[in-house]
């Protein structure tokens, strides 16, 4: 019998996400309209699905389990079962691997193909047919982390608003060509926490940096097709996972060190978080996470035409 499936405990509905407690990992996923949820575990490279574990416990709208043998570093995703009824706002498709909205670390990148879409491309916008191909090969994976970190005496600085001077910056762009920062640190969280970067901010009198989106994001298919990349990162797919592309070490724990270092220099950290559009785009976009987990709960749908989304900003 597979290692983890042999021992599955009920677990707890909170906190959401994958939580390492020092002995095992609790998994909790919100989905009000799902009829079933499967936790998918992968090998170390994220290429092969090695186990699939049904979440048999549901507390209110949260599906959960606890794996006593699981450890930090484990790669995972979800498959969610439910009605495939796009007109009702429910495009469930268990053939699509889904990212945990509460993942703290997302590894790998999207490898674009039609298999990432919940409907069959070309089947017609008015009556889309479910696409039954497995999307796992082209999907990033979530990674369980050990949240332990030595914050020491670090506390929120609470600079009074009348004394606050905010500098908005892009983590990569701010240090990408800085001659006084080591080349391997330029454009990273660690680079922003170096003495030359901090000295410049303090010289300007800055009391807070507002970081343009640092959450895990994808390069849109349209851009990739043109040989371009999503530089600004505004199509987030994991609001609790710092994008690893900005980590010199490749590990998101570097983000915590950056925050602690900036705080010690008297500089607060503000995040630009954009919830009004995600990497899944409009109703014709891919099924990567929220749409496949519980579309009707995560997105605002048009009354009387629940296949479509409310678009207040023109961003999709």
Q: What is the pLDDT of residues 294-315, one digit of tens each?
A: 999 999 999 999 999 998 876 6
Strands (E), 89-153: 90-91, 106-107, 141-143
In CATH, what is the architecture of 161-271?
2-Layer Sandwich (3.30)
- CA-to-CA separations, 250 to 105, 232, 241, 242, in angstroms, rounded: 11, 19, 13, 11
Question: What residue spans define the domains of the chain?
Answer: 17-147+288-300, 161-271
Residue 42 DSSP SS3? strand
Asked if 88 contacts 294 with a C-beta cutoff of 8 angstroms, the reply is: no
The strand pairing partners of 49, in sequence order, are 42
Burial of 264 (0-12, 13-18, 19+ CB in 10 A): middle
**Is 3.90.1170.50 the CATH classification of the domain at 17-147+288-300?**
no
Question: How far apart are the two ends of the chain, measured CA to CA in Å?
Answer: 45
Alpha helices in the chain (DSSP H): 171-175, 189-192, 195-203, 221-225, 253-264, 290-298
Q: How far apart are CA 31 and CA 255, in angstroms?
A: 29
Q: What is the pLDDT of residues 166-216, one digit of tens each?
A: 999 999 999 999 999 999 999 999 999 999 999 999 999 999 999 999 999
Asked if 145 contacts 104 with a C-beta cutoff of 8 angstroms, the reply is: yes
Asked if 279 contacts 272 with a C-beta cutoff of 8 angstroms, the reply is: no
Global pTM reads 0.96
What is the edge-to-edge ordering of all strands in the sheet holding 268-271? 166-169, 208-211, 268-271
Residuewise pLDDT in 10s, the chain (316 residues): 467 877 999 999 999 999 999 999 999 999 999 999 999 999 999 999 999 999 999 999 999 999 999 999 999 999 999 999 999 999 999 999 999 999 999 999 999 999 999 999 988 667 799 999 999 999 999 999 999 999 999 999 999 999 999 999 999 999 999 999 999 999 999 999 999 999 999 999 999 999 999 999 999 999 999 999 999 999 999 999 999 999 999 888 899 999 999 999 999 999 999 888 899 999 999 999 999 999 999 999 999 999 999 988 766 5
């Amino acid at each position: 019998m597979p290692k983890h499936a042999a021992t599955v405990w009920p677990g707890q509905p909170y906190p959401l996400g994958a939580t390492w407690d020092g002995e095992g990992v609790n998994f909790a996923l919100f989905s009000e309209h799902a009829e079933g949820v499967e936790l998918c575990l992968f090998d170390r490279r994220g290429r092969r699905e090695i186990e699939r574990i049904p979440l048999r416990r549901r507390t209110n709208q949260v599906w959960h389990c606890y794996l006593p043998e699981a450890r930090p570093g484990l790669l995972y995703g979800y498959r969610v079962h439910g009605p495939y009824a796009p007109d009702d706002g429910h495009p469930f498709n268990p053939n699509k691997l889904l990212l945990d909205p509460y993942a703290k670390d997302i590894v790998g990148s999207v490898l674009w193909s039609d298999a990432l879409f919940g409907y069959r491309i070309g089947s017609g916008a008015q009556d889309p047919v479910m696409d039954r191909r497995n999307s796992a090969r082209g999907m990033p994976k979530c990674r369980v982390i050990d949240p332990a970190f030595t914050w020491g005496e670090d506390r929120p600085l609470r600079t009074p608003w009348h004394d606050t001077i905010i500098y908005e910056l892009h983590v990569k762009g701010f240090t990408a060509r800085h001659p006084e920062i080591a080349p391997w640190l330029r454009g990273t969280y660690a680079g922003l926490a170096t003495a030359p970067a901090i000295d410049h901010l303090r010289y300007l009198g800055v009391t807070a940096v507002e970081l343009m989106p640092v959450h895990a994001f994808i390069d849109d298919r349209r851009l990739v097709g043109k040989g371009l990349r999503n530089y600004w990162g505004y199509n987030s797919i994991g609001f609790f996972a710092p994008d690893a592309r900005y980590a010199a070490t490749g590990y998101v724990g570097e983000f915590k060190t950056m925050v602690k270092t900036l705080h010690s220099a008297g500089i607060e950290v503000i995040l630009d978080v954009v919830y009004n559009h995600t990497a899944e785009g409009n109703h014709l976009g891919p099924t990567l996470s929220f749409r496949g987990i519980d579309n009707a709960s995560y997105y605002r749908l048009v009354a009387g035409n629940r296949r479509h989304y409310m678009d207040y900003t023109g961003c999709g």
